[in-house]
Structure 1
Amino acid sequence: MPRFEVVTLVHAPPELVFDVSLSVEAHIASMSASGERAVGGVTSGRLGPGDEVTWRARHFGVVWRLTSTISAYDRPSFFVDEQVAGPFRRWRHEHYFEAAGEGTLMRDVVDFAAPLGVLGRLAEVVVLRRYLTRLIVVRNRHLTERLEARR
């Protein structure tokens, strides 16, 4: 089962980093390269416990839809979004926020699995893990720049 982790230091308080991480608008802005949009469920504002959102984006030249729900929520330290419908056999993204000096250590832990059996496992190793890690890094860079510009 593929898993990766990305750790990012943000010079902003955990409550603010947590809240912006759940902002639909911030997510859309951070994923502008793939044209990601919220097309169902909660399509604006801040997501909360039990909320669902359907995302539409273009990756690898193909338009995908993924519906996720906020399945765990403990403000300001932790939340989880999980796929309930979409292209993955499994998608679970854990978000951790920990005070670190005058900032926040943001840790993303992603567990995922591709469909299609052996072909999916090959795609996980050859392409998906690296591609998805890069998406999280880009998203976190965008959030960090947005939050630190407020200081």
Structure 2
Amino acid sequence: MKLYQLRSKQSFPISAKEAWEFLSDPGNLKVITPPHMGFEILSGNDRAMFPGQIIQYTVSPFPGYKTKWVTEITHVKEGEYFVDEQKFGPYALWHHKHFIKPIDGGVEMEDVIDYKIPFGILGQMAHPLLVKKQLKQIFAFREQKLIELFGSLKNTTKELQFKTI
């Protein structure tokens, strides 16, 4: 089974504190998820983020397919990073690191996601046609929504990279 990695970076003219307050609030995940995905938080967003926190969602990653997704916040370093891991959901593995770093004029937000697709060779065949395409759409929506909310730093570029490990 192949392991895939997605890396995304964006820079914004806000403070690290503002970025942390937004990203560490599980309720804001719905704000930066495309509406067509039917994303709803069922539980776990009633308090500030902490290691061991379980968050339950429903999501429809593809038309006609709705699933429950359960993640655990496994690591938190206040103001700098947190990690969520899928406990139950559409992936065979989902390990998502969120980093926040102050830079000149604002903050850089970086996501590093290591993931595996279920269903063996069928999942590997579906990756470039469905999964990778869907993740690109999600991160394009997220990029635009974050720019609407926070603006954009001049002379910075947004990065989105996929690789197979």
Quick check: TM above 0.5? yes
Aligned length: 148
Rounded Cα–Cα distance in structure 2 between residues aligned with 1:140 and 1:68: 22
Give 1:44 deviation, angstroms.
4.0
List 4+ stretches of structure 1 deviating above 3 A: 43-46
Counterpart in the other structure of 1:16: 18
Give 1:131 deviation, angstroms.
1.5
Rounded Cα–Cα distance in structure 1 between residues aligned with 2:116 and 2:79: 28
Rounded Cα–Cα distance in structure 1 between residues aligned with 2:147 and 2:67: 26
Measured at CA, do residues 3 and 108 of structure 1 come closer, stay the same or move farther in structure 2, by a change above 3 Å?
same
Measured at CA, do residues 144 and 48 of structure 1 come closer, stay the same or move farther in structure 2, by a change above 3 Å?
farther
User: Higher helix proportion, which one?
Assistant: 1
Q: Does 1:120 align with 2:123?
A: yes
Counterpart in the other structure of 1:50: 52
Give matches, 1:1-151, under 5 Å. 1-31=3-33, 32-40=35-43, 42-44=44-46, 46-61=48-63, 62-148=65-151
| Cα deviation 1:15-74 (Å, max 9, x = unaligned) | 22122112222111222331211113x134543222110110112111111100111111
Q: In 1, are the aligned partners of 2:10 and 2:110 still within 8 Å (CA)?
A: yes
When normalised by structure 2's length, the TM-score is 0.81
RMSD of the alignment, in Å? 1.9
Unaligned runs of 5+ in 1: none
Measured at CA, do residues 24 and 7 of structure 1 come closer, stay the same or move farther in structure 2, by a change above 3 Å?
same
Give 1:98 deviation, angstroms.
0.8
The answer to which of 42-51 and 70-79 deviates more is 42-51
Q: In 1, are the aligned partners of 2:25 and 2:45 still within 8 Å (CA)?
A: no
Rounded Cα–Cα distance in structure 2 between residues aligned with 1:45 and 1:93: 20
Instruction: Look up the SS of the partner of 1:49 in the other structure.
Output: coil
Rounded Cα–Cα distance in structure 2 between residues aligned with 1:50 and 1:19: 19
Q: In 2, are the aligned partners of 1:23 and 1:47 still within 8 Å (CA)?
A: yes
Q: In 1, are the aligned partners of 2:37 and 2:62 still within 8 Å (CA)?
A: no
Instruction: Look up the SS of the partner of 1:38 in the other structure.
Output: strand
Q: In 2, are the aligned partners of 1:6 and 1:137 still within 8 Å (CA)?
A: no
Rounded Cα–Cα distance in structure 2 between residues aligned with 1:136 and 1:52: 23
